Amino acid sequence: MGKDTGFLEIEKQNVPRRPVEERVADYKEYDKHYSEPHIRQQAARCMDCGIPFCHTGCPLGNIIPTWNDLVYRGHWKEALAELHSTNNFPEFTGRICPAPCEDVCVLNEYYTLDPTEKQKKKHAVTIEQIEKHIAERGWQEGWIRPIPPQTETGKKVAIIGSGPAGLAAAQQLRRVGHAVTVFEKEDRVGGLLNYGIPDFKMEKINVRRRQEQMEAEGVVFKTNVNVGTDVTVEELRATYDAILIATGAQHARKLQIPGNDLKGVHYAMEYLPQQNRTVAGDQLPEEERILATDKSCVILGGGFTGADCLGTLNRQKANKKVYQFEIVNMVPRPTPVHEEADMDCRANILTEKLVGNEKGEVTELHAMRVDWRLDENGRRIMEKIPGSEFTIQVDMILLAMGFLGPSLEGLVQDLNVRIQLRGRQDLYEPKDVLEMLKSRDVMFSVKADEQFMTSEDGVFVAGDAHRGASLVVWAIWEGREAARCIDLYLMGTTELPTSPQAATIA
């Protein structure tokens, strides 16, 4: 796999990036491309592992050593075919996946030729970047083309949501001959790929060209359609042979403290989509714009959404102090945007209240440090640290504290599929969970069996609506697996492939 001694002879090369002062002046992608000789060199570092683990770290089961070897040898078209055999959209995952495959790469074990050397360094193969380069080569060479079905089955499938799960399912189902209609409540296809992921991580040409490919294959996209309002569940049931819920996890965790309703406190999924619309050329009323220019800002939440907020703050020139607080014992994972500005990142911080001025605008955040320990039952409990209280002056607060589950109003409630709470076996009706959410946060998802079917016959679920807020690579895997199960349900048999990982991670 690759060059036999490549991992000994070739150093891992960091991803080439645009200079900070250049990239914070626009919304174009911050990563640059390796030259072809360099990316082939990086592929050559893939070892001939006795037992490779990279493909087991990837939910899609990508056959990573094989396409690394093909890239090293210059067989790009064959590498693309190998990559597409398990992943519909490698240009998405090659940009926005946190690369769990690299975490389990054998070369990620600390390696040194000198046994006396104490300095340890990570050497994982740059799998994600190789994946992205394979996909880009495919587009440049015209190898990625529509693959329409050879026959029509006469069956109709409605997919609600056009994020990565919905798109993957739609493409798989269409290619075996089903008539597929994708409903999207927003005005553009892509779900969070379009309105949640900033352009500096993934420019939207990547979504548009896949949409064009799928339309040429025969997938029908209907945007600006809110199923449950513009189209009723009864109409769906009467028209389609199967329904897939792929709406994502849109119910954000709330900040339930005094002052949470002050002006200047915004959810991340209000802030990020607005900026993406602006980048796309939409004209928004000035009084509705959420702008951080020359403001002191706090991001509550240390995950990827918080990092996306930070990168957007940097480009909006939030030139005063920027803070990022995480309540748990985990320093926010460093990303390229963390090197772009002067900021204060802290873990174990509990926000207790917000204070505003006479105009109702937020001006202060009051917080304190906390510690975490396990109780006698092994549960993590939080303890406040006396005397650790502090106050900061703030003009804007962005809430990026995660998502509890899918939106329950409309489609899910009308379908009356059963809902499961995280860590519980009991099943609930959507209205019962909505009632719970009035008084407390609970994490929930649409319950499905091993075939991705909900409690309602012919209604399936995939992606974040099924497993909770997760990674794009998981959403694509679930979309592909759900498509296979839907095809089996409709036809009694299926030729769609089972993910190599399905038996171990379903």
CB neighbour burial string for 478-499, b if at least 16 within 10 angstroms, e if fewer? bbbbbbbbbbebbeeebebeeb
Could you tell me if 126 and 12 lie in one domain?
yes
Mean pLDDT over the full length of the chain: 93
Q: What is the pLDDT of residue 2?
A: 63
Residues 223 and 325 in one domain: no
The residue-averaged pLDDT of 104-108 equals: 85
Q: At what angle do helices 205-217 and 164-175 cross, to 10 degrees?
A: 30
182 is a domain residue: yes
What average pLDDT does range 165-180 have in this prediction?
Answer: 98
Q: At which of 111, 141, 171 does a domain end?
A: 141
Q: Indicate the residue among 82, 116, 141 that finishes a domain.
A: 141
Residue 93 lies inside a defined structural domain of this protein = yes
Instruction: Give dist(CA 122, CA 292) in Å, integer.
Output: 36
Q: Are residues 397 and 430 in the same domain?
A: no
Total tally of structural domains belonging to the chain: 3
Instruction: Give yes or no for residue 465 having a pLDDT over 80.
Output: yes
* Structural domain that includes position 271: 255-401
Establish if 1 belongs to a structural domain. no
Predicted confidence (pLDDT) per residue in 222-277, tens digit:
999 999 999 999 999 999 999 999 999 999 999 999 999 999 999 999 999 999 99
Report how far apart, in Å, the C-alpha atoms of 145 and of each of 54, 153, 496 are: 28, 22, 19
Q: Using CA atoms, how far apart are residues 478 and 462, in angstroms rounded to an integer?
A: 5
Q: Which two tokens stand for residue 162?
A: 């056009």
174 and 219 in contact (C-beta within 8 Å)?
yes
- Tell me if 270 is assigned to some domain: yes
pLDDT of residue 329: 87
353-397 pLDDT per residue, tens: 999 999 999 999 999 999 999 988 888 999 999 999 999 999 999
200-230 tens-digit pLDDT: 999 999 999 999 999 999 999 999 999 999 9
pLDDT of residue 118: 42
Q: 453 pairs with which residues across the strands?
A: 460
At residue 244, the pLDDT reads 98
H-type helices in 224-348, by residue range?
233-239, 268-279, 304-315
Q: Are residues 22 and 137 in the same domain?
A: yes
Q: Are residues 71 and 207 in the same domain?
A: no
pLDDT at 1: 57
Tell me the pLDDT tens digit for each residue of 23-68: 999 999 999 999 999 999 999 999 878 778 888 888 898 889 999 9
Q: Do 420 and 347 fall into the same domain? A: no
The model's pTM is 0.94
The separation between CA 225 and the C-alpha centre of its own chain, rounded to angstroms, equals 23
Which residue type occupies 215?
Answer: E
Asked whether the predicted pLDDT for residue 502 surpasses 60, the reply is no
Of 482, 479, 475, the closest CA to residue 460 belongs to 482
Which CATH number do you get for residue 92? 1.10.1060.10
Quick one: pLDDT at residue 503? 38
409 and 395 together in one domain: no
